[in-house]
């Protein structure tokens, strides 16, 4: 999942903790991820207890469950967030992005699935946050299809359509419903993404002609 993938991108003014504070925050994220992979839906307080961190400290780093889930997702996404490829065509950039993203999704699939599940479950910390990864996803897809000869409105609609083929949700559909393995899921997702890009470019050319 912003899996999941649907959270707004981090605030540009966010000042990440350093030293002992950074280690404590990293411990919280690692503990939350481990608990979620084991099928649990921990609150910030429960993660703090498991990590041996005081609740006051934990809530200083993660005021809400949504904040903690975003951190877990961002950690799992890792190098995907900094993806950039100077390839000349949108199709080549899509292939690069999907080729980097889907293996990472497969590697951390349990974490992403747990984050989606927990983000949709009301809790004492939050009534549910359905926005995990959204900013990341749109930003990455926009970078992939930039300079494809589309107007801003056409590009925005293309990114919306591509969002259906990208991320843990697409992998879940392709694996759980279609019965594909990881590699097949990536191939079908990329095929669909390329088809959408080609259709958008063709439509733009027809409208301008």
Residue 10 lies in a domain: no
Q: How confident is the model at residue 9 (pLDDT cuts 50, 70, 90)?
A: very low
More confident position, 119 or 190? 190
pLDDT for the residue 125: 52
Residue 166 lies in a domain: yes
pLDDT for the residue 131: 56
Q: How many domains does the chain have?
A: 1
Cα dihedral value 71, 74, 76, 78, nearest 10: -140
What CATH code is carried by the domain that includes residue 80? Answer: 1.10.357.10
Q: What is the mean pLDDT of the chain?
A: 86
List Cα–Cα distances, 156 to 22, 148, 161, 175, 176, in angstroms.
Answer: 36, 12, 9, 27, 29
Residue 8 lies in a domain: no
What percent of the chain shows pLDDT beyond 90?
A: 66
**Per-residue pLDDT reduced to its tens digit, 67-109:** 998 899 889 999 999 999 999 999 999 999 999 999 999 999 9
pLDDT for the residue 19: 76
For the whole model, what pTM was predicted? 0.79
Q: What is the mean pLDDT of residues 115-144?
A: 71
Residue 7 lies in a domain: no
pLDDT for the residue 135: 64
Residue 134: pLDDT above 90?
no
Residue 57 lies in a domain: yes
Residue 175: pLDDT above 60?
yes
Residue 26 lies in a domain: yes
Residue 4 lies in a domain: no
Q: How confident is the model at residue 128 (pLDDT cuts 50, 70, 90)?
A: very low
SS (H, E, C) 105-157: HHHCHHHHHHHHHHHCCCCCCCCCCCCCEHHHHHHHHHHHHCCCCCCHHHHHH
**Per-residue pLDDT reduced to its tens digit, 22-62:** 999 999 999 999 998 888 889 999 999 999 999 999 999 99
Residue 12 lies in a domain: no
Placement of tokens 């993806």 in the chain: 83
Residue 164: pLDDT above 90?
yes
For 178, the domain range is 19-208
């Amino acid at each position: 999942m912003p899996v999941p993938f649907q959270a707004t991108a981090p605030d540009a003014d966010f000042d990440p903790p350093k030293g002992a504070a950074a280690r404590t925050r990293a411990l919280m994220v690692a503990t939350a991820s481990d608990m979620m992979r084991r099928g649990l839906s921990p609150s910030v307080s429960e993660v703090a207890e498991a990590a041996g961190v005081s609740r006051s400290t934990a809530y200083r780093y993660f005021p809400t469950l949504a904040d903690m889930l975003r951190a877990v997702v961002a950690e799992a996404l890792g190098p995907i967030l900094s993806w950039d490829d100077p390839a000349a065509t949108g199709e080549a950039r899509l292939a690069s992005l999907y080729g980097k993203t889907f293996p990472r999704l497969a590697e951390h699939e349990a974490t992403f699935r747990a984050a989606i599940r927990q983000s949709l479950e009301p809790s004492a910390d939050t009534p549910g946050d359905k926005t995990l990864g959204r900013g990341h996803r749109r930003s990455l897809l926009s970078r992939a299809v930039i300079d494809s000869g589309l107007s801003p409105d056409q590009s925005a609609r293309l990114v919306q359509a591509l969002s259906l083929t990208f991320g843990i949700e697409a992998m879940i559909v392709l694996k759980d419903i279609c019965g594909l393995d990881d590699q097949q899921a990536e191939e079908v997702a990329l095929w669909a993404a390329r088809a959408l890009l080609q259709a958008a470019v063709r439509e733009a050319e027809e409208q301008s002609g």
